[in-house]
Structure 1
């Protein structure tokens, strides 16, 4: 995984995050129930312990929705595995590993080392918005390692589910653009 250092890219990406109502300043205090349904489906169909929709907003990873047991949270972008994915993953738009502690790009991440969590199995699909820039990820994980085949199977589930999620976000954004005075981006 490599980093992207393009201020123009980041400005376009942040504008897109805001246009979707996913920026930290745009978010209601409570989790988005509609988006949480996507996270719950991801967890159920992958058989993982946790699932979430994370957006990278400025210097933060914002967990905008999660399946039960994965609390909505805010963490530094510098610690975010999802940020690593959206800022130039050489693995494409979907990434999976059966044991993050053995993955060269993830083994020193604080979510893997125990500093912030004990993540082992991880799969994430990058969510690419209308402006063709990444907004964040739909990801699943477990505290126990899995086989690489099981991790790949989870990634196979996330690919079409992430496309359905983007379609939902696009429809919600379009409705807001048609009626900006309406209820903004609430589930």
Structure 2
């Protein structure tokens, strides 16, 4: 029995240091319409999201269309890079990918964030066995989860993600058997 998880990396957002309440940008809301259109042809059983506003807003369109509640799961939130402002994001993110056990002050190492993400993912696979589940989440945590199952999903893969992006992960029991990209920007 296959379980399909549709990981939806959030659409473009308006930058704010407030991670929980950062909203989508005008471009992001336009992309939500495309995401909704793309997913309406899939028999979606459940919709889950990170607690961050931009992730919830990205899956709200499909939730409203299907009249489904968005279930919030905290562990799908983005990895915490640091609790301080990093001077150079590219240097900071490169360092944690180069050394999976390294973490910046107050942040999560790749291994710690990955462990959190994989645990919640496998919990979802077990709880919603045989179902199609949309998960509104974030790029780094999504790729760390995917990397656990196949190391080809690495830093370079993360760098090439679109915003938004959608990957369908198909599991049999807890074994990942297929990954398929669904999102291709049309504008």
- When normalised by structure 2's length, the TM-score is 0.31
- When normalised by structure 1's length, the TM-score is 0.31
